[in-house]
Amino acid sequence: MKSLIAANWKMNMDIKSSISFINNFKKYIKKIKNKEIVICPSFTLLNKINESTKNTKIKLGAQNMHFEEEGTFTGEISALMLKDVGCEYVILGHSERRQYFNETDDMVNKKIKTAFKNNLKPILCIGETLEQRNNNKTLKIIKNQLINCLKNIDENEIKNIVIAYEPIWAIGTGKNATPQQAEEVHKFIRELLSHIYNNKISSNVRIIYGGSIKESNIKDLMAMKNINGALVGGASLNPKSFACICGFNNST
Ligand code: PGA
């Protein structure tokens, strides 16, 4: 299956710096093959980046959206708006949203349903805290998050989901999960998907890893059987670094 490498720019970049990023990035990724590359900038940059990535292999994603399609929700963004501006993907349930904006599995579940209804592909983020890992609760937490977030989601739709395993202790800390630690959880997620849906679906869903991905650790992580791509924060803000990450097994 084609690896998916997504950039999560978080609350960084402005119009000028993002256009300069895209212009450089386009040059660096010329030789990259067999990757799906997605950039998820802030809402204010979506339109410009959509224009500057037309006819390239770069796809567009958003970092969040509301579960309602329209209405009196001051300050929110809808799935229809994201589609309108050219998004194909949307990150949902990122741990920073859960931690700082009180997003729950129930809200994430509603968002996933709305995303599918509007032909947006969700990148669902799940992951444990350091305390939960140290108390051997990782797999239990992952199981609960996955079951709650995927409640009543049809098997015709689920094939388009991307699941991002992002251990919270690895995000922005410079301390990535080892390939073995990540693979254990990815394998567990795949088995769970096969249990909830079936083998065919589970083997086709991309399960990507996020948390302190950099040029120096991408190759070993991607060598694991059940790791099908990466969600990259800090290292995605530099076009050369992000291009190297995207081309981890190509010569760039
Ligand atoms: P990081 O962030 O690569 O800076 O650790 C990853 C993420 O939060 O998606």
Q: Do 49 and 39 form a contact (C-beta atoms < 8 A)?
A: yes
Average pLDDT estimate for 152-181: 96
38 within a domain of the structure (yes/no): yes
- The pLDDT value recorded for residue 88 is 98
The strand pair at 162-165 and 206-210 is best described as: parallel
Give yes or no for residue 157 having a pLDDT over 50: yes
Residue 126: inside a domain, yes or no? yes
Q: Is 131 a catalytic residue?
A: no
Q: What is the mean pLDDT of residues 211-215?
A: 97
pLDDT band at 250; cut points 50, 70, 90: confident
Query: Could you tell me if residue 17 is inside a domain?
Result: yes
How many structural domains does the chain have? 1
pLDDT 10s digits, 109-132: 999 999 999 999 999 999 999 999
122 inside domain:
yes
pLDDT above 60 (res 141) = yes
| Residue 167 Cβ contacting ligand 1 at under 6 Å | no
Is 231 close to ligand 1, i.e. is its CB under 6 Å away?
A: yes
pLDDT tens track for 24-40: 999 999 999 999 999 99
Would the pLDDT of 138 be above 80?
A: yes
If you measure from the C-alpha of residue 71 to the centroid of ligand 1, how many angstroms do you get, rounded to a whole number? 32
Ligand 1 centroid to residue 173 C-alpha, Å: 9
State which H helix or E strand residue 47 sits in.
helix 46-52
In ligand 1, the atom with minimum distance to the C-alpha of 8 is: 9
CATH number of the domain that 114 lies in? 3.20.20.70
Q: In the structure encoding, which two tokens stand for residue 51, read together?
A: 């224009």
Please, which pLDDT band fits residue 63 given cuts at 50, 70 and 90? very high
Active site residue 184: no
Residue with CA at minimum distance from ligand 1 atom 7 = 233
Tell me which residue has its CA closest to atom 1 in ligand 1.
Answer: 233
pLDDT reported for residue 252: 44
Q: How many angstroms does the Cα of residue 198 sit away from the middle of ligand 1?
A: 30
Please indicate, yes or no, if residue 251 is contained in any of the structural domains: no
- Chain centroid to Cα 3, Å, comes to 12
User: Does some domain include residue 252?
Assistant: no
> 43, 131, 55, 23: which is closest to 91 by C-alpha?
43
* Mean pLDDT value across residues 85-99: 98
* pLDDT score of 106 more than 90: yes
Instruction: Give me the domain span that covers residue 32.
Output: 3-246
Q: What is the pLDDT of residue 251?
A: 53
What does the pLDDT read at residue 249?
86
Number of the ligand 1 atom closest to the C-alpha atom of 214? 3
Residue 213 CA: nearest ligand 1 atom is 3
3-state DSSP assignment of residue 34 = coil
Looking at residue 104, the DSSP 8-state letter turns out to be -
Residue range 42-65: mean pLDDT, rounded? 97
- Which residue of the set 36, 96, 103, 166 is catalytic? 166
User: Considering 36, 66, 94, 186, which one is annotated as catalytic?
Assistant: 94
The amino acid occupying position 21 is F
Q: What is the dihedral of CA 107, 111, 113, 119, to 10 degrees?
A: 180
